[in-house]
Amino acid sequence: MNQEVFAALAEALQKGEEVALVTIVKSTGSTPQRVGAKMLVYADGRTVGTIGGGCYENEAFWKAREAIKHRKPVTMKFELNDDFAQETGLVCGGQMEVFVEPVEPSPELFVFGAGHVGYFVARMAHEVAFKVHVIDDREKFASTERFGEGIDVIVENIPTWIDTHTLPPTSYAVVVTRGHTHDLDAMRSLAKQPLRYLGLIGSKAKVKRIFDALREEGMAAEKLAGIHAPIGLDIGAITPQEIAVSIVAELIAVKHGKVTEPNAAAVSMRWDGALTER
46 contacts: CB under 8 Å, gap ≥ 6:
none
pLDDT at 93: 61
Domains of the chain, residue spans:
2-103, 108-255
pLDDT at 270: 35
Q: What is the CA radius of gyration of the chain?
A: 23
pLDDT at 30: 72
User: 73 vs 9, 22, 44, CA distance in Å?
Assistant: 16, 10, 18
pLDDT at 179: 87
pLDDT at 1: 63
| pTM for this entry | 0.76
Q: How far apart are CA 178 and CA 237, in angstroms?
A: 19
pLDDT at 272: 36
Tens of pLDDT along the chain (278 residues)? 689 999 999 999 888 888 999 999 998 877 777 899 999 999 999 999 999 877 788 899 999 999 998 888 999 998 876 554 455 544 456 788 999 999 988 889 999 999 999 999 999 999 999 999 999 999 999 999 999 999 999 999 999 999 999 898 889 999 999 988 899 999 998 998 889 999 999 888 889 999 999 999 998 888 888 899 989 998 999 999 999 999 999 999 999 888 767 753 333 333 333 333 44
**φ and ψ of 51, to 5 deg:** -110, 15
- The number of helices, as runs of H, and strands, as runs of E, in the chain is 10, 10
Q: How far apart are CA 121 and CA 232, in angstroms?
A: 11
Q: How far apart are CA 57 and CA 1, in angstroms?
A: 16
pLDDT at 269: 36
If phi over 0 gives left and psi between -120 and 50 gives alpha, with beta otherwise, what is residue 197? Answer: beta
Q: Where are the beta strands (DSSP E) in the chain?
A: 19-28, 38-42, 47-49, 74-79, 95-103, 108-112, 131-136, 152-155, 172-175, 197-200
**What is the helix (H) or strand (E) element at residue 137, kind and residue range?**
none
**Do 183 and 207 form a contact (C-beta atoms < 8 A)?**
no
CA angle (158, 228, 234) in 5-degree steps: 120
pLDDT at 275: 35
Q: How far apart are CA 173 and CA 132, in angstroms?
A: 10
Beta-ladder partners of 77? 97
> Which CATH code fits 108-255?
3.40.50.720
